[in-house]
């Protein structure tokens, strides 16, 4: 699984701290995973010591709990409620004023989230009308990816074709290993990544270390408990528009929009004009919106999708089906966040499988 990468080097835990220091010294704001309020969230860090050593996450439908690990692994925890989307496509941003994006460095980007950033590139960076602000943020971001050697119970990136090994879109990629000594195999994916790697205290990885990392990644892919049905989901969802399953889902769905807020590829927004009390100053702001909001589909004649069933069908059909028509790829990267952070425990893989079973011969 690593044959596409150059021969890896090895850094230790101190080398990871050194990497953070180098990126800060280069004038970048470093963003990484930190433990806060019972979850792993993404925030600015000022040293490698702020990374979550020895923290794991137990996930399931409607469930996310942190626990202490027996080792000091830094990145072996399931994806938390936030994705890197919020740093390149902010939750709220003013659109009628100039902006100079700060150079960022992302540390700990999982393969599913690398794929999500690539999906967003197709949404915001594609011609003929690219989002210049999005492009500026992405162009100035240094990305340190991390292979997923311990997928969570809600992960299904293998069936989505996005992991567990990172295949591109990074400047550096780490494979964390704790057996036989805590260390990180590291490879560069860009010239800028090579330049940073050259400045780190490192050694060459042995052939056995590289092979053992390969075995760990193959084992991670084989251990995933969830998967999308091995069928043409685009066609399946088109044929299932009148399925009774949508109402069965709606009977459980709270229409809370959690799934769209935690999704690393959902990109819908609305625009608001804000004035001061005297009306002498006006600003235009763009903020995240959700297709689960009844007003999202509002037109002059009223709301188009009035039922929860129609709104869930819209979300899932777009994510797994009609996204292909718009952008040439699926909108789902298999991160499993929508499963873990749904208060009703609705599982997109289970619902896709249920629709597929409806077409099986009785």
Domain map (residue ranges) of the chain:
9-223, 233-358
User: In this predicted structure, what is the pLDDT of residue 303?
Assistant: 87
Q: Is the pLDDT of residue 86 over 80?
A: yes
Backbone torsions φ then ψ of 306, nearest 5 degrees? -85, -25
Please state, rounded to an integer, the average pLDDT across all residues of the chain.
94
As a whole number, mean pLDDT of residues 44-59 equals 97
- Residue 204's SS3 state is strand
Backbone torsions φ then ψ of 120, nearest 5 degrees? -65, -35
User: In this predicted structure, what is the pLDDT of residue 280?
Assistant: 85
| Distance in angstroms (rounded) separating the CA atoms of residues 349 and 200 | 41
As a whole number, mean pLDDT of residues 244-258 equals 97
Query: What distance, in Å, lies between the first and last C-alpha atoms of the chain?
Result: 40
As a whole number, mean pLDDT of residues 196-216 equals 96
DSSP label at residue 287: E
Angle at 213 between CA 56 and CA 65, to 5 degrees: 10
- Residue 210's SS3 state is helix
Buried-state track 86-113, b at ≥16 Cβ within 10 A, e below 16 = ebbbbeeeeeeeeeebeebbbbbbbbbb
Q: Is the pLDDT of residue 3 over 60?
A: no
Residue in the block written with tokens 């994806």 = 79
Residue in the block written with tokens 């980007």 = 109
Q: Is the pLDDT of residue 332 over 50?
A: yes
As a whole number, mean pLDDT of residues 94-99 equals 90
User: In this predicted structure, what is the pLDDT of residue 76?
Assistant: 93
Angle at 149 between CA 49 and CA 103, to 5 degrees: 45
User: In this predicted structure, what is the pLDDT of residue 2?
Assistant: 46
Tokens, residue 30: 């470093």
User: In this predicted structure, what is the pLDDT of residue 298?
Assistant: 86
| Distance in angstroms (rounded) separating the CA atoms of residues 195 and 190 | 9
Q: Write the pLDDT tens digit of every residue in 267-279.
A: 999 999 999 888 8
As a whole number, mean pLDDT of residues 254-258 equals 96
| Distance in angstroms (rounded) separating the CA atoms of residues 26 and 20 | 10
User: In this predicted structure, what is the pLDDT of residue 362?
Assistant: 57
Cβ contact 147:166 at 8 Å? yes
As a whole number, mean pLDDT of residues 128-140 equals 92
| Distance in angstroms (rounded) separating the CA atoms of residues 59 and 78 | 7
Residue in the block written with tokens 């006006």 = 282
Q: Considering the entire predicted model, what is its pTM?
A: 0.94
Q: Is the pLDDT of residue 1 over 70?
A: no
Task: Give the distance from CA 230 to its chain's centroid.
Answer: 22
User: In this predicted structure, what is the pLDDT of residue 300?
Assistant: 83
Cβ contact 52:74 at 8 Å? yes
Nearest-10 Cα torsion for 184, 188, 189, 193:
120
């Amino acid at each position: 699984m690593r044959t596409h990468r150059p021969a890896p080097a090895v850094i230790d835990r101190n080398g990871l701290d050194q990497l953070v220091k180098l990126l800060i010294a280069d004038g970048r704001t470093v963003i990484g995973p930190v433990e806060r309020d019972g979850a792993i969230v993404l925030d600015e860090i000022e040293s490698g010591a702020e990374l979550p050593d020895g923290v794991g996450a137990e996930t399931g439908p409607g469930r996310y709990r942190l626990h202490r690990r027996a080792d000091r692994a830094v990145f072996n925890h399931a994806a938390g409620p936030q994705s890197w989307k919020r740093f390149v496509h902010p939750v709220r941003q003013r659109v009628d004023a100039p902006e100079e994006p700060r150079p960022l460095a992302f540390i700990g980007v999982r393969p599913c989230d690398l794929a999500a950033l690539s999906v967003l590139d197709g949404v915001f960076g594609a011609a003929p009308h690219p989002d210049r602000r999005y492009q500026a943020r992405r162009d100035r971001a240094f990305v340190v990816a991390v292979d997923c050697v311990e997928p969570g119970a809600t992960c299904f990136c293998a069936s989505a074709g996005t992991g567990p090994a990172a295949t591109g879109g990074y400047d550096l990629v780490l494979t964390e290993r704790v057996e036989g000594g805590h260390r990180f195999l590291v490879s560069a994916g860009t010239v800028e990544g090579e330049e940073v790697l050259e400045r780190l205290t490192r050694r060459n990885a042995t052939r056995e270390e590289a092979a053992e990392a390969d075995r760990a990644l193959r084992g991670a892919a084989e251990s995933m408990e969830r998967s999308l049905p091995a069928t043409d989901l685009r066609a399946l969802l088109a044929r299932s528009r009148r399925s009774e399953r949508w109402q069965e889902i709606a009977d459980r769905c709270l229409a809370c929009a959690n799934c769209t807020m935690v999704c690393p590829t959902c990109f819908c927004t609305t625009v608001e004009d804000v004035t001061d009390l005297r009306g002498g100053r006006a600003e235009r702001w763009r903020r995240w919106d959700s297709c689960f909001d009844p007003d999202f589909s509002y037109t002059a004649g009223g709301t188009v999708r009035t039922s929860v069933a129609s709104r869930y069908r819209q979300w899932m059909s777009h994510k797994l089906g009609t996204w292909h028509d718009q952008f040439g790829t699926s909108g789902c990267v298999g991160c499993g966040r929508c499963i873990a952070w749904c208060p009703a425990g609705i599982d997109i893989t289970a619902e896709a499988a249920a629709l597929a079973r409806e077409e099986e011969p009785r």
